Amino acid sequence: MSIYWNHRVKNLSPYIPGEQPRQGGLIKLNTNENPYPPSPKVIEAIQKAAGDELRRYPDPACTELRSVIARRYAVMPEQVFAGNGSDEVLAFAFGAFFESAAGKQKALPVLFPDITYSFYPVYAQLWDIPFTPLPLAADFSITCTDYKQRSGGVVIPNPNAPTGQALSPSALVSLFRFHAQDGEGSSVVLVDEAYAAFGKDLEVAPLIHEHPNLLTVHTLSKAASLAGLRVGFAIGNQELIEGLCRVRDSFNSYTVDRLAQAGAVAALLDAPYYEEVNQKVIATRDRVSSSLRALGYEVIPSQGNFICIRSLQKSGPQFLSFLREQGILVRHFPKPRIADFLRVSIGTDAEMDRFLEACERFRAV
């Protein structure tokens, strides 16, 4: 606390990112990064962009990047917004589409799961948006019908993090329809597709043509191996995209730098490379999940590049510190119902074999 902080800053409880260790030699399975390198074409494009032109501001509209994204998802460039990581896009979306408590009418709460990406409540607080966390079912899935109530908006990560469970596109469509029903009372359904590439037929972005209240949010951090580049984007009808631009241009018009725009374009153009890389991640995830079950661990079925697992004998913190002693970093969320689970990002096959060996040893301690 500082006397110099205003009341808004005093009341924040900021997001705590997963550890980025400075020492080497650790197996890093704690922040859902892709274990494989980005496409060589991305590195080439960034190197080419790292020249004289850096004295100039980047294209604030990200014109080329947006047109490449538009082609990939069969939408128009006007239906695409690019930002500095999807965290920024999410922050802008909360600010643009969800009413604050100080808004004109009494604002209805925004709905999202109680166990989910922990940045959502932080954004809501930052913008003073009321929200209601809705409990996941006993099997950690999202109960779609719970979200069919009047609200200030809905945020669904699909697949959800840290559980890895996904809703079907048809269940999501029923939500878009429900929340588009009553004119003035209609609200935005935001689908965060950070991990959709690791699931089976989950992408709903092309459905924006039929659902004007749908905004999908995407990142190059996970499926495109570019967490260090900071590029994310959103797809939605033109009015939604203009809303995001209004917030961005009241904050910082140049959020995506020249190197990031160049690298992101190259990544989106090299789909075959990423198809191969991510198929490997999926195969490793499924293999490791079966091995862990055979060792007696509980594994929540996952459609992401991570798994959520639990020892039936020991607590989450005990499991966490054992793995840490073995040089393996994973993520623990000290929250009711998942405090005994660990979220484990899928690494290379060699890394996951070392992880499995550690899990085998842990049974004996």
Q: Of residues 73, 117, 178, 198, which one binds ligand PLP by CB under 6 A?
A: 117
Q: Count other Cβ atoms within 10 Å, centred on residue 114.
A: 14
Q: Is 120 in the site for ligand PLP (CB under 6 A)?
A: no
Residue 218 CB, nearest distance to ligand PLP (Å)? Answer: 8
Residue 77 CB, nearest distance to ligand PLP (Å)? Answer: 20
Q: Is 227 in the site for ligand PLP (CB under 6 A)?
A: yes
Name which of 32 and 311 has its Cβ closer to ligand PLP.
32
Q: Is 193 in the site for ligand PLP (CB under 6 A)?
A: no
Question: Rounded CA gap, 209 and 54, in Å?
Answer: 37
Q: Is 192 in the site for ligand PLP (CB under 6 A)?
A: yes
- Count of positions on this chain that bind ligand PLP (CB under 6 A): 14
- With CB under 6 A as the contact rule, which of the stretches 18-26, 81-89, 124-132, 240-248 interacts with ligand PLP? 81-89
- With CB under 6 A as the contact rule, which of the stretches 19-27, 178-186, 217-225, 349-357 interacts with ligand PLP? 217-225
Q: Is 194 in the site for ligand PLP (CB under 6 A)?
A: yes
Binding mask 28-47 toward ligand PLP (x if CB under 6 A, else -) reads: ----x---------------
Q: Of residues 34, 221, 289, 311, which one binds ligand PLP by CB under 6 A?
A: 221
Please provide the distance, in angstroms rounded to a whole number, between the alpha carbons at the two ends of the chain: 42
Q: Which residues between 274 and 313 bind ligand PLP (CB under 6 A)? A: none
Residue 338 CB, nearest distance to ligand PLP (Å)? Answer: 15
Residue 295 CB, nearest distance to ligand PLP (Å)? Answer: 27
Q: What is the side-by-side order of every strand in the sheet holding 189-192?
A: 80-83, 232-236, 214-219, 189-192, 153-157, 110-113, 131-134
- With CB under 6 A as the contact rule, which of the stretches 84-92, 98-106, 241-249, 253-261 interacts with ligand PLP? 84-92
Residue 82 CB, nearest distance to ligand PLP (Å)? Answer: 11
Q: Which residues bind ligand PLP (CB under 6 A)?
A: 32, 85-87, 117, 157, 161, 192, 194, 219, 221-222, 227, 232
